[in-house]
Amino acid sequence: MLSSLIDFSDYSFIKCNTVKSDPLSSRSMASKTPVGFIGLGNMGSPMAKNLLRNGYPVIATDVFPESCKELQDLGAQVVDSPAEVADKADRIITMLPSSPNVIEVYTGPNGILKKVKKGTLLIDSSTIDPAVSKEMAVAAEKMGAVFMDAPVSGGVGAASLAKLTFMVGGVEEEYHAAQELLTCMGANVVYCGQVGTGQAAKICNNMLLAIGMIGTAETMNLGIRLGLDPKLLAQILNMSSGRCWSSDTYNPVPGVMEGVPSANNYQGGFGTTLMAKDLGLAQNTATNTKTPIPLGSLAHQIYRVMSARGYANKDFSSVFQFLREEEGQ
């Protein structure tokens, strides 16, 4: 399915892992103790199911009761609040839409930290501002718990097939414990460093991805108008220094490649608004760290305009279509 196109499933991500790992720590494998899961949306639901499939009891909750029903039928215990999850599980995974949700679920009146037990491992797979990840880690540490950020690459398809890639930030000593759970849900787990670096890695990758995609779209469009055949131009770029993932794996020009969103009217794939959201995070972290990102910033603006002009739900490679139209057409 196209929905899994933006994963890294062809790569041996685990090789990046600089931690010598003994993947099954004795503590947790003596018996499979319950795992908490908060946030049962399009991504969270299949992730939680994969924990169940791997034999872990799951204690789950979500603001939408209907999201809990399916998981309950599969054997999960559903509770009313993050605080209750924290009361019953000492390993908890959260998968939420944005920073404010994460703040609420961890530090809100019924949040995890109200009832978290000492030594609990908290893994947040949401894609959020790394500064918020750091805040959560500090708050968790005050309660004697451990917080790690572990955002994912890969869409709903990769989540269902347990082929996600996790980029993990947090104290190295706890990485193995996190890895045990994450490998049930993903094909690759990479340790990135201190808390927040998982988010940083994801944000950085997606920013460069956006720049490469818009650049490829501009370049292909220019070449075509200058008389080059699009397939030949793609071949030339891919053998040359212009080569990038967007030119050789996910070419945005219809007719150049098969099995990519550009071959399917830009349906499926990674939506323009999702890219705009990730670029917003990149923008915020860059602003806050006083880091100049001229192209990343302009890429953000372009996806922002596209989101408002009918491209919101198209794959982000539709920037080719956005830029290509000629006057008078």
- Identify the CA nearest to 97 among candidates 129, 119, 120: 129
Provide, rounded to whole angstroms, the least separation between the CB of residue 170 and a second copy: 12
Active site residue 202: yes
Closer residue to a second copy in complex, CB, 156/293:
293
Instruction: Give the pair of three-digit tokens for residue 241.
Output: 């220094």
Helices (H), 74-129: 82-88, 99-107, 112-115
10 Å Cβ neighbour count for 143? 18
Helical (H) or strand (E) element with 152? strand 152-153
Name the residue nearer to a second copy (CB basis): 24 or 232: 232
User: Nearest approach, Cβ of 249 to a second copy (angstroms)?
Assistant: 8
Distance CA 276, CA 280 (A): 6
Angle subtended at Cα 179 by Cα 285 and Cα 163, rounded to the nearest 5 degrees = 80
Q: Up-side HSE of residue 72: CA atoms within 13 Å toward CB?
A: 11
Set 202, 277, 290, 314: catalytic member = 202
Residue closer to a second copy (CB basis): 157 or 223: 223
CA neighbor of 306 nearest in space, from 259, 270, 257 = 270
Nearer to a second copy, 73 or 327 (CB): 327
- The dihedral built from the CA positions of residue 73, 76, 81 and 82, taken in this order, carries a sign that is negative
Q: Which is nearer to a second copy, 205 or 267 (CB)?
A: 205
Minimum CB distance to a second copy, residue 45 (Å) = 24
Least separation in angstroms between residue 227's CB and a second copy is: 5
The kind and range of the H/E element at 124 are strand 121-124
Cβ nearer to a second copy, comparing 54 with 98: 98
Enter the tokens of residue 164: 């996600």
Give 24's contacts (C-beta < 8 A, 6+ positions apart).
180
When the beta carbons of 109 and 292 are compared against a second copy, the nearer one is 292
Report the distance separating Cα 42 and Cα 81, nearest Å. 19
Least separation in angstroms between CB 53 and a second copy: 26
Rounded Cα–Cα distance for residues 143 and 156 (Å) = 33
> Three-state SS for 311?
coil
Who contacts 82 (Cβ-Cβ below 8 Å, separation ≥6)?
38, 61, 94, 105, 106, 108, 110, 111, 112
The distance of closest approach from Cβ of residue 32 to a second copy in the complex, given in angstroms and rounded to an integer, is 30
Dist. CA 268–CA 259, nearest whole Å: 11
Residues acting as catalytic residues: 202
